[in-house]
Structure 1
Amino acid sequence: MFGRPSTVRRAARGAVAAWIVAFVAAHGAQAIDDPGCGVVAVATREGARAYVLPHSFIRPGSDSVWTRAGPLARGVDYELDLLHGQIRLQRVALPGDTLWFAGCWLVAPPPLTLKLMRYRPLALAAPDSEPAAASPVHQRPAVQRDPTEAPAGASLNISGNKTIAVEFGSAQDAFLRQSLDLAISGTLAPGVLLTGVLSDRNTPLTASGSTRDLQSLDRVRIELKTPQGSAALGDVSLQLSQGEFGRLERRLQGVRGDVGIAGFQGTAAAASAQGVYQRVEFFGVEGRQGPYTLRSQDGAVGIAVVIGSEVVMLDGARMTRGEGADYAIDYERAEITFSNRRPISSASRIMVECQFTVNRFRRNLAAFDGRWQGRVLHAFTRVLSEADDGGRPLDIDLSAADRLVLEFAGDSANRAIAPGVTPGGGDYDSVRVAGGTLAYAYAGPDSGRFGVSFARVGAGRGDYADSALASGRTAYRYVGPRFGAYVVGRALPAPETHRLWVVGGGATVGALTIDAEGAVSHHDLNALSSLDDGDNMGLAGRAAIGLGGTLPGVMGEAGLSFSARTVGPRFVPFSRLERPFAQEDWGLPLDADLEHQQRVEAAGHWKPRRLGELRASLARLELPSGFESVRRTAEWSRDGILSFAGAIEHADANDPARVFPHGGRDRSRVEARLLLPWLEPALRAQSDERRTPSDTARAGDRVRESELELASPQRFGWRTRAGYGVRDDATLLGRAFVELREVRTLRVTLDTPSGRALVAGLALNRREVEPRADPVHTRSDLGSVHLALDDAKRALSGSVNLEVTSEGENRRTRTLTFVGGGRGGYDALGSPALQGDYLLGDGTSGAALDLLARSALSARLGWQFGSSDAWRGSRLEFAFETDARRRGPFVPSDAVIAPAVVLGDPALARGSVLQRLETDLAPGARAGALHLLAERRVTADRSYENFAQTSVREALEARLRARPAPAFSAEISSRLKRDEEAQTFMGASAFRRVLIESGGGAQLVFTPSARVRAAGIADGAWVRPEGGTEYTRTIRLGPDLGIAVLARGRLEIGARRTFIRGPAVATYLPGSDPLGTPLWEGTSRFDYRLHESTTFGLSVALRDVPHRAPLATGRAELRAFF
């Protein structure tokens, strides 16, 4: 009786089990997703190679990466950091493309850092049943103020904005943009100042929403100053100048602190160096103001200079940056151009100290400087350390094989070369040359079976030589063992370490002064290798003693000093020890090593009363190479009505390692100036004869120069100065000097008193080179004219600015390259085409520069008139601008060049003329506010050897505006344009096209209140080629509407419809519809103020072009102000 229920239960269990089995059998094909696997989409950025995934601890072997172009191979196209989840591409992806990553990872990865302590807030006690009254805040006895208020003297101002935006479109992926501008200034307490600036523009965000690192920011600086010291974070400058061996001047990104207590002062800094320090010394080119290209220590070009890191010296004087000052510099191209205020000649000595941008490893710098000053004694010490981070290369990834090569390379760059042959397609094929040697021959762009890299090892050490440029790439050819400068392989960068310790001190007891300094350096050229480390350490030291003071009676002042300095051959300072071009003083060539030396010197000076000052010195120099030199100098100067200065220098040098060992320098100079009531004449003369040891022939140069100058006294408001100088250049041939050239220079300057209605400034400099043995005859003109008119009584204003200078420029060529398949933009004749088979590229035809005389004129004259409400603000203005760059000497007519000369003179490399006449009549009238404009712009470009282009654009415009009622305004306009384009391409067809356009527009605006604005706009244009009879009519119509939304929002909407009738729209250049005119255009923008200091904006634009898919773009942004 009790078994039936058990049987029923067993039957029920069996049925349930059967149902489960059937369900699993029916649905067993559905896999359960692994939460630790998936696909991640990453938007690529311009110029970026490294991308951080939102997951870490990637499972080995589970990764796959692909783009729209196809899959990517690991180890070939990308590298993956499994621990941190970072992808590093081997080549830069196209901006806006999408990168997909598929793989598996840990769902809950362990932390990468160990936290020994963690903050936890205390649990709050249970509230009482009866709420307690808030206890009052009392003043503490030690603080006589309210704790809830800021301390006295505290005032901090914070301003800026933060923007986060998403840009999207129908033909692009979504982009995340962000920017931050923050400014802080004020006082935290009496005597404690805080200033800060932070700028972060379009820096990519990580998954956590923060930027990558401090160096990614555009500009950041936070500085705190107190009476005892200061601290700075961000972009800081470090200048350490005490002593000789540890001088440093750098721009850094990091932290710096200064402290001063009693007689002690200290400076500490830790930062990442933005560049590598370099000093470049060179002579100028006769008559060429620039550009001068700065080269790195190994002669490389195409480098970039850290912004603001340069120090430019010209003939021993420091220059100021700015086009209106002394020089202008192109940091990206590392090119410097001097203004016409500083004429450059072949005798100009130019020195540039700068930091070239780091492109191998991330470089870190740490510094400490301590100084103590007592009543008698003083001491200082300095520790500097600069090192490359070998684990963080910037532009390449070092594999295990590459690191092994560097480990056995030692300090030799020629041994740090990795294999450079990659099979599977490239520009080279393998061939057998004489003796069966395997070599690689250039087969053409992407036409070979191997990709081959070449590394420079120096002339006479390689097997290959660079041949020519082909499709923008350098081609190399095999020339035989030890006959070239390149070898097959990849040059690997080696991380360097550089450390320096300096200690020094001295004492001053009455007239006696003692000073001493010692330094030790450690410089390892390859931190990854322990080989060749025996020569990393170097020593340097100096000592000086001086005696000086006041003598009795009319003897005045006198002093003697003795100094000695030794710098070991392995000592490496952080900056150059010698001043620029110091090699010339001792009879050495400019490329000689003067840093490592042994030198003793004795100097003295005597300054009697009313008899000027006399200085003399005697020095001896020895170099590790065996070079010896003895130098003697004597100077005398006197100030007064008759000022006089003279100096004599003599150096006698000998280098036993040279075939012609004798060298030296004989230099004498004199200057006299007479201070008369109405005139200040001056006379200068100089003779400089330099000889250097050589192995081929006697080497030497001689310069003799004299100049007469007349100047007005400084007490006059009108300041004038005129001078005429003659310079003779000669070179040593055999035992006698041979005249090369005679240079004559005439210069005139004039400045009128300031504060007048008309202020003028004039500066002219003409230099003419008369050949002797040198057959080159040149003439260069530099000048500037500045006029400023400000006549408030007659309501006249105007200005005239003329600049004349000279520049150097490469001859350029244009080349057609066949690409086929409609992938180019030009046809076989060089004419633009929508789906052409050719690409048009630019190149240089040689390393030599053409001397260009450039003149730029800008003139403006304006007159304002009208006193009534309707006519107040009326104006008439005329503007005239020209720019002429002529090959060869300056022509005076180029200062005010005519349009016909720009179009027809083949000697002009580039030229342009702008003429504009503009007027506004009765701008305040309710009906009849008139605006008239007449403009003509002519340009020509003949800077290419085989290509020239000219254009002429003329326009007449008139606009009439009326306000018939407070809520209504209307405007009608008309225009007439003539545009001419002409092009000549050697070996291709030339064309000339002239377009005539007439048209006008009208708009009606209704603004009943500040919340609503409505407008209707119409524009029409009729375009035809000159000589043609058929017009292309284009009419654009549409409304604009602006309306307030709620209390804090506003919506702006605009739409345009285009109607085209007639032949295809003519363009300046040949081709079938290269641009395309949209039939429909629509724009909308919505702005809403979420908070008093927070706004949200959304903008969308839509364009509908015939025969193309509609194009939509948009931007959503959130901006906070504080």
Structure 2
Amino acid sequence: MKPAYKLILFILLVLHASAVLFPQNKYNTVTVTDSIPINFENSYSISGVAIIPFSETIILRDSLLQRFTDYQFSYSTASFTLSDTLPYSLFDTLLITYQAVNLSLQKEYKKRSLVIRYSEKYGDTVRVVEIEGSAFTPESIFGEGMQKSGTLIRGFTVGTTKDFSLNSGLRLQLSGRLSESIEIVAALSDQNTPIQPEGNTERLEEIDKVFIQVKHPNAVGTFGDYQLSNRNGEFGVINRKLQGLMGSFNISDFTGYGAIASSRGKFNTNNFNGLDGVQGPYQLTGLNGEKFIIVIAGTEKVYIDGIEMKRGENNDYSIEYANATITFTPKRLITDASRMAVDFEYTDRRYSRNFLGTGVTANLFDDKLKFGIQYLQEGDDQNAPIDIALSEEDKRIISEAGDDPLKAFKSGISLAEEDSLGVRKGIYQAVDTLINNEPFTYYIYNPGDSLSIYNVSFSYIAEGGGDYVREALGQFRFAGIGEGAYLPVILLPIPQVKQIGNITASYSPLENVHIDVEYSGSLWDRNRFSDLDDTDNFGYATKLTLRVDPSEVKIGSVNLGKIGFSYKDRFINNKFTSTDRFNEVEFNRIYNTSGSSEQEDEQFREVRLNLIPVKELNIISSGGFLRRGESFKSDRFNNIIKLSDNNKYNLYYNFDYVDTKNLSRLSRWIRQSGDVNYILWKLKPGFNFLAENKRDRQSSKDSLLSGSLEYYELNPYIELIDLEGIKFTAKYSHRDDYLPLNGLMVKEAIVKAQIYDLTYRGIKEVTTSLNFTVRNKKFTDPFKEKGFLDTEQILIRSQSKFNFWEPVLNGNLFYEVSTQKQAKLEKVFVKVEQGAGNYRYLGDLNGNGVADESEFEPTLYDGDYIIVTIPSDELFPVIDFKTNTRWKIKFADIFARNSLPGEILKPLSSETVWRVEEVTREEDLSKIYLMQLKFFQQEGVTIRGSNFFQQDLYINENKQELSFRFRYTQRFSMN
């Protein structure tokens, strides 16, 4: 731990020095002088609201009083008392001068005051209430410039299945200036709203975000929920949603921040390939392959083929945060060639997590010299488990496991408890057998059998790392040693902590020349309960870059155009870790690192040359090598040519060659891509292509290995740029795929696709868009013999908005259909507080030891169970169909307002909604795509279906005095 302590100490010294050298701007304070007569109570209050401690001077009889000796000052109450030994009289006056924070706050706010006056009527003094001149209002507290909004909720809930309950809530937003230089922004709430927002829009409405932020030209302070995004060099990357305190400052040439908070989740990256005919959902998993995780809303970044996608049903994807699944919209066709990468934060609710971060940067000598230093710590609090309870024995097991998470387990096998008759009713039966002449015991799911005396808990290990497969909730089947993903054990969660510190320096001797150096160190304690294996916690990384920005080069009178150059040298120790991903998304693919070990030291060097002979032509050439340990090396050469006149033509060509050697395995990979188009009138015809040829071999053999591939994809297209509000794109795609078969490259399949996009915004009354994609993949005979089946994929999305005879008739029409794969949803009854559920358990009626669905019945008031659904591991191909339409009619605007029909229809308006949704295993696509409703909601075929119709008739809609709504609703559904 010594390197970490040294780093923390150094950072604290830097922060302290910056605070001393660059104190708060003096103009944030004011000097106040009060004159206070001596009183009998010996208690004196000053007029200032926020006195700066130890800034006061008190004068009595022209003598300066001494703090602690002559008086005692309470800074929290802004008052002081005089010492009993101090000589003074009632005719003396105290003169106090002090520094106070310049805030527009009064010390006291009141609407009325109690005063004593002489009454001629009674001939005596009386106490009367006097109205103050200024009212007690929010403006008197915060000032005139404060903007305020919010919601105060008071309500009640009662129903046939619910008892009477009161509801209350407050949400308040504030923004404005407290003083000339201090601004406040706040969102406050007394409601606890742990609901994750829906991930189907580009922007999220985070209704549970609560914070107070105070801003100053030189500093910002935040308390509550906030996003921390900072990058110091290449390795010091942090992007987290936090809850706690954060402060940042910007003084002269120095900037910095400090944050201490609870971290909502852990960072992880998932990389996977798509499936033909499956737009989703794709399951995200945790660091150890956990499936039952919750993604922190808004933290995900989704990439396809290295390009970042946009969230939203009208964009590229939607995400279910609670289930950690991603589904891609019909606008983004997913195939088995689609490469997906997802960065995200998630919570597994094992331990609460803490975060500490601080950093300082300095820009010196007109930004020619820059320094940066940062320290980050993030980890689990081993003393604060959330949804688990650890016994002392559990902690001992974790402690003895060291850094290996698979050693932190206890048996999941237990004998069922005896009932009143002394009989054990379990759900698993033990079976003894011989495997490879060794005795072995496995367990079969057999509830109700007299031999089933065991209850068994299983944990997910990894595909191929277990002996059992999951068939249903609580039901596992023995598949053979190493043939499954589950084992009959209970894995105990291991608390971890990471510490990362890095120092950066950048020097620019010339305007276009930059030299960057960086050193980063990390400490990763993989088990906070254990001191075992702690000798390998420390790792480090270094980086050196030289960059020359493209600059004009002349030889005599000959202008060679612009030339740029860069060189990068990076070393990563095999023990180094980071808080976030720092490599580019497809770095491992670019350098063909599959099969290499990340537990080796990594050396990476890259040189790049950029030539711009004329402004239309840009040539980028680069070469690099990557080494991991002694066994892996990869050399890469890349050339990119761009020729462009944006108003007429565009040409792009990329050639990439990678030569890799890993032990005795040799790989040569050629990748090419290109695009060319020409603008003629409002048409843009074009052509792009993709081609790859990867040959993997053993060094002593000529036959190809399974990692080899080859394909050629040609894509002509034409685009209508904008003709009277019409935009149209048509694209045709032809692709030939090759894979190794018996050591030789053989054509696998032919893929043909057509893609059409249409948008119309020509008139204000109609806005419409249509996306249509059809893709067919036909396998060759050698692969059909291996069980591969031809696939057809049709994706349709249409969205239209109408506004006729504004505002008489407006509406919208939506239609979307796609093919997906979904898990079977299983019902699970979860016990809750008595009266909070909708079901009650009748007991083990069939005597099988399992709480079956038939043994629960609905109840109105005393239920103690609710139903939740859990997805199975196995996925089934389905069709996901959605359509809806909504129409709003205002009858008052059909006829003239002063006409008889207009007067009669004036208070009337209506709204019609029809929505159909279907998730089905129907194999005949036309029955669903063409919306043949008689084939919807079929028993045994439909997974989930809904047909909803709603008709509203309004009288005096939106009139606060009196309004009526008559509603007719009809719903047919199947779950």
**TM-score > 0.5 by shorter chain:** yes
Matched, 1:545 2:546: yes
Partner of 1:505: 505
Partner of 1:534: 535
Partner of 1:747: 755
Q: 1:683 aligns with which of 687, 694, 704?
A: 687
Aligned residue type for 1:679 = L
CA–CA separation in structure 2 for the residues paired with 1:845 and 1:394 = 25
Q: Secondary structure at the match of 1:870?
A: helix
Partner of 2:804: 791
TM normalised by structure 2 equals 0.71
**Shift of the alpha carbon at 1:237?**
0.9
CA–CA separation in structure 1 for the residues paired with 2:948 and 2:507 = 68
Q: 1:671 aligns with which of 650, 671, 675?
A: 675
Partner of 1:1096: none
**Aligned CA distance change for structure 1 residues 118 and 692 (closer, same or farther; 3 Å):** farther
Aligned residue type for 1:502 = N
Aligned pairs (5 A) from 1:254-333: 254-333=244-323
Q: Secondary structure at the match of 2:298?
A: coil
Partner of 1:1107: none
Aligned pairs (5 A) from 1:690-729: 690-691=694-695, 697-714=705-722, 717-729=725-737
Partner of 2:468: 466
Q: Secondary structure at the match of 2:359?
A: strand
Q: Secondary structure at the match of 1:288?
A: coil
**Aligned CA distance change for structure 1 residues 744 and 907 (closer, same or farther; 3 Å):** farther
**Aligned CA distance change for structure 1 residues 458 and 725 (closer, same or farther; 3 Å):** closer
**Shift of the alpha carbon at 1:787?**
2.7
**Shift of the alpha carbon at 1:877?**
6.1
Q: Secondary structure at the match of 1:713?
A: strand
CA–CA separation in structure 2 for the residues paired with 1:878 and 1:453 = 51
Q: 1:411 aligns with which of 403, 407, 421?
A: 403
Aligned pairs (5 A) from 1:1023-1042: none
Q: Tell me if structure 2 keeps the 8 A contact 1:807–1:854.
A: no
Would you say how many aligned residue pairs link Structure 1 and Structure 2?
794
Q: 1:570 aligns with which of 575, 579, 584?
A: 575
Aligned residue type for 2:668 = G
Aligned pairs (5 A) from 1:528-927: 528-548=529-549, 549-552=551-554, 554-589=559-594, 593=598, 597-624=602-629, 626-640=631-645, 641-656=648-663, 658=664, 661-691=665-695, 697-714=705-722, 717-753=725-761, 756-772=764-780, 773-774=783-784, 775-792=788-805, 795-810=808-823, 820-821=844-845, 847-858=874-885, 860=887, 862=889, 864=891, 865-866=894-895, 867=897, 868-875=902-909, 879-887=913-921, 891=925, 894=928, 897-902=931-936, 911-914=945-948
Aligned residue type for 2:639 = A
CA–CA separation in structure 2 for the residues paired with 1:780 and 1:654 = 38
Instruction: Give CA deviations for 1:659-692 in whole Å, capped at 9, x if unaligned.
Output: xx01132011121110111311111011022345
**Shift of the alpha carbon at 1:159?**
5.2
Partner of 1:520: 521
Q: Secondary structure at the match of 2:393?
A: helix
CA–CA separation in structure 2 for the residues paired with 1:756 and 1:441 = 68
Q: Tell me if structure 2 keeps the 8 A contact 1:241–1:248.
A: yes
**Aligned CA distance change for structure 1 residues 875 and 591 (closer, same or farther; 3 Å):** farther
**Aligned CA distance change for structure 1 residues 675 and 606 (closer, same or farther; 3 Å):** same
**Aligned CA distance change for structure 1 residues 793 and 189 (closer, same or farther; 3 Å):** closer
**Aligned CA distance change for structure 1 residues 145 and 523 (closer, same or farther; 3 Å):** closer
Pick which of 871-880 and 285-294 moved more.
871-880
Pick which of 756-765 and 596-605 moved more.
756-765
Aligned residue type for 1:769 = K
Q: Secondary structure at the match of 2:398?
A: helix
**Aligned CA distance change for structure 1 residues 694 and 267 (closer, same or farther; 3 Å):** farther
**Shift of the alpha carbon at 1:604?**
0.3
Partner of 1:386: 378
CA–CA separation in structure 1 for the residues paired with 2:587 and 2:599 = 8
CA–CA separation in structure 2 for the residues paired with 1:871 and 1:719 = 40
Partner of 2:199: none
Q: Secondary structure at the match of 1:583?
A: helix
Pick which of 661-670 and 908-917 moved more.
908-917
Q: Tell me if structure 2 keeps the 8 A contact 1:801–1:859.
A: no
Q: Tell me if structure 2 keeps the 8 A contact 1:578–1:595.
A: no
**Shift of the alpha carbon at 1:423?**
5.7
**Shift of the alpha carbon at 1:551?**
1.8
Pick which of 893-902 and 241-250 moved more.
893-902
**CA root-mean-square deviation:** 4.9
Partner of 2:341: 351
Partner of 1:1090: none
Q: Secondary structure at the match of 1:501?
A: strand
Q: Secondary structure at the match of 2:260?
A: strand
Instruction: Give CA deviations for 1:458-513 in whole Å, capped at 9, x if unaligned.
Output: 78988xx336557x324476978x99877665432222121111111121122432
Aligned residue type for 2:215 = K
Aligned pairs (5 A) from 1:467-506: 472-475=473-476, 490-506=490-506
**Shift of the alpha carbon at 1:562?**
1.6
CA–CA separation in structure 2 for the residues paired with 1:829 and 1:536 = 50
Q: Secondary structure at the match of 1:751?
A: strand
Q: Tell me if structure 1 keeps the 8 A contact 2:927–2:935.
A: no
**Aligned CA distance change for structure 1 residues 724 and 159 (closer, same or farther; 3 Å):** closer
**Shift of the alpha carbon at 1:860?**
3.2
**Shift of the alpha carbon at 1:400?**
2.7
**Aligned CA distance change for structure 1 residues 614 and 937 (closer, same or farther; 3 Å):** same
**Aligned CA distance change for structure 1 residues 143 and 196 (closer, same or farther; 3 Å):** closer
Q: Tell me if structure 1 keeps the 8 A contact 2:469–2:486.
A: no
Partner of 1:76: none
Partner of 1:239: 229
Aligned residue type for 2:814 = N
TM normalised by structure 1 equals 0.62
Aligned pairs (5 A) from 1:969-1008: none
Aligned residue type for 1:220 = V
**Aligned CA distance change for structure 1 residues 539 and 239 (closer, same or farther; 3 Å):** same
Q: Tell me if structure 2 keeps the 8 A contact 1:874–1:920.
A: yes
Partner of 1:401: 393
Aligned residue type for 1:744 = K
CA–CA separation in structure 2 for the residues paired with 1:266 and 1:395 = 36
CA–CA separation in structure 1 for the residues paired with 2:95 and 2:903 = 64
CA–CA separation in structure 2 for the residues paired with 1:832 and 1:146 = 61
Q: Tell me if structure 1 keeps the 8 A contact 2:237–2:580.
A: yes
Q: Tell me if structure 1 keeps the 8 A contact 2:457–2:490.
A: yes
**Shift of the alpha carbon at 1:881?**
3.8
Aligned residue type for 1:852 = I
Q: Aligned residues: percent identity? A: 22
**Shift of the alpha carbon at 1:385?**
0.9
Q: Tell me if structure 2 keeps the 8 A contact 1:634–1:648.
A: yes
CA–CA separation in structure 2 for the residues paired with 1:193 and 1:755 = 45
Aligned pairs (5 A) from 1:962-1111: none
Q: 1:251 aligns with which of 228, 241, 246?
A: 241
**Shift of the alpha carbon at 1:404?**
2.7
**Aligned CA distance change for structure 1 residues 869 and 637 (closer, same or farther; 3 Å):** same
Q: 1:220 aligns with which of 210, 213, 238?
A: 210
Partner of 2:69: none
- Highest relative contact order (Cα 8 Å, sep 6+), 1 or 2? 2
CA–CA separation in structure 1 for the residues paired with 2:383 and 2:461 = 25
Q: 1:360 aligns with which of 330, 350, 354?
A: 350
Partner of 2:197: none
